[in-house]
A and B are shown apart, each in its own frame.
Chain A
Amino acid sequence: MLQIECPWCGLRDETEYKYGGQAHVAYPEDPSALSDEEWAEYLFFRDNPKGPFAERWVHTGGCRKWFNAVRDTRTYEFLAVYANNEPRPDISSLTGADTAGATA
């Protein structure tokens, strides 16, 4: 069982969480000015890195709060957990030199 650290509740089982996709996907400032292609890009296109990936999680089985996490998609290791209004942490400092080039 994968355990995930909720910023408010601490370590809990993966089954208490729901996944929310890629983090830091900002809503377009002026959606009506976007072409269909740009709008489709915003709606449907997401990164799919092999390595550290910043993503959103919600602790549905506990405090019901959303938060962001950096997870290594190769190892499922959670490298950082942070509030969803904080900037993405510096991933190279979390993973060390060997994976520094793998940032998304």
Chain B
Amino acid sequence: MADLSTLQELRRSPLHDMATEIRDGGVTGDRAVQLVEQPFVTMVSVRIDPDSTGSRGIDEALGAPLPRRVGETSQAGGHTALWLGPDEWLVVSESDAESLVEQLRTAAGDTPAQVVDLSANRTVIELTGPGARGVLEKGCPADLHPRSFPDGTAIMTSLARVPVLLWKVDADHFRVLPRASLAQYVAAWLLDAVREFAPASPSAQAGA
């Protein structure tokens, strides 16, 4: 039988091959932006009727009620539930996927429900710094102004014309969750998009 601990070491994140570019791709200054990939984050999809007894069981298991409206997230005890649709959520968690799936399936009880480990479906690109919102606004049709996109909002939208899950932690911290197969494209687009946020070099100012 295969040694599972070795398999864990062998796995490669979707942005493994771009690690150096991503590390060196950030910019400094007034509109600084840094990029970092958070690989292998536990993500579990939950689909259930929100008015059922099973959904109340899941609320209890997560420690916070599943959010009911677009953009809302609920956080408790290392789990964050993101609203994806009126009967669909993505639970992003610090626990391991296997035990979380087991726990939520038990919590759903007899109610028809779907609880699936989707950790390999998406990767997480973190954008931090005062320029983060400006970078995203170059390629995202959603209104990211704080008046309509407060801290803790997460929506399905598009970035650079491909679908992503966009999650705002706070004003200087966004998470972009693209599908694994689109992650390199999104990262390459972001790396290009942040370049103009670098402070102008002295030689460029002299020539202007």
Query: In the bound complex, do residue B141 and residue A9 qualify as a contact, i.e. CB atoms below 8 Å apart?
Result: no
Contact of A15 with B85 at beta-carbon distance under 8 Å, contacts A9-B70, A10-B70, A63-B70 already known: no
Query: In the bound complex, do residue A64 and residue B85 qualify as a contact, i.e. CB atoms below 8 Å apart?
Result: yes
Contact of A65 with B156 at beta-carbon distance under 8 Å, contacts A8-B70, A10-B70, A13-B141 already known: no
Query: In the bound complex, do residue B157 and residue A61 qualify as a contact, i.e. CB atoms below 8 Å apart?
Result: yes
B interface, over-half SS: strand
CB distance from A1 to the nearest CB of B (A): 8
Near A by CB (< 8 A), chain B positions 29-53 give none
Near A by CB (< 8 A), chain B positions 150-180 give 155-158, 161, 163
Bound: A10/B155 CA distance, A = 11
Q: Which bracket fits the contact residues of B?
A: 10 to 19
Query: In the bound complex, do residue B156 and residue A62 qualify as a contact, i.e. CB atoms below 8 Å apart?
Result: yes
Query: In the bound complex, do residue A63 and residue B156 qualify as a contact, i.e. CB atoms below 8 Å apart?
Result: yes
Bound: A65/B156 CA distance, A = 13
Bound: A62/B85 CA distance, A = 8
Query: In the bound complex, do residue A63 and residue B85 qualify as a contact, i.e. CB atoms below 8 Å apart?
Result: yes
Bound: A68/B126 CA distance, A = 37
Bound: A63/B142 CA distance, A = 14
Bound: A15/B88 CA distance, A = 22
State the interface size on chain A (CB cutoff 8 A).
Answer: 13
Query: In the bound complex, do residue A62 and residue B157 qualify as a contact, i.e. CB atoms below 8 Å apart?
Result: yes
Bound: A44/B156 CA distance, A = 34
Q: Mark A1-42, 1 if CB is under 8 A from B, else 0.
A: 100000011101101100000000000000000000000000
CB distance from B153 to the nearest CB of A (A): 12
CB distance from A16 to the nearest CB of B (A): 7
Select from chain B the residue with minimum beta-carbon distance to A13: B141
Contact residues in B for A1 (Cβ distance below 8 Å): 141
User: Is residue B190 within 8 Å, beta carbon to beta carbon, of the partner chain?
Assistant: no
Q: Mark A32-59, 1 if CB is under 8 A from B, else 0.
A: 0000000000000000000000000000
Contact residues in A for B142 (Cβ distance below 8 Å): 12
Contact of A65 with B85 at beta-carbon distance under 8 Å, contacts A9-B155, A10-B70 already known: yes
CB distance from A65 to the nearest CB of B (A): 6
Query: In the bound complex, do residue B70 and residue A61 qualify as a contact, i.e. CB atoms below 8 Å apart?
Result: no
User: Is residue B86 within 8 Å, beta carbon to beta carbon, of the partner chain?
Assistant: yes
| Known contacts A12-B141, A63-B86, A64-B84, then 5 further A-B pairs from the complex at CB < 8 Å, ordered by chain A residue | A8-B86, A9-B156, A12-B157, A15-B161, A62-B156
For the complex of A and B, 9 pairs with smallest distance between CB atoms: A63-B85, A13-B141, A9-B70, A62-B156, A8-B86, A61-B163, A61-B158, A65-B85, A8-B70
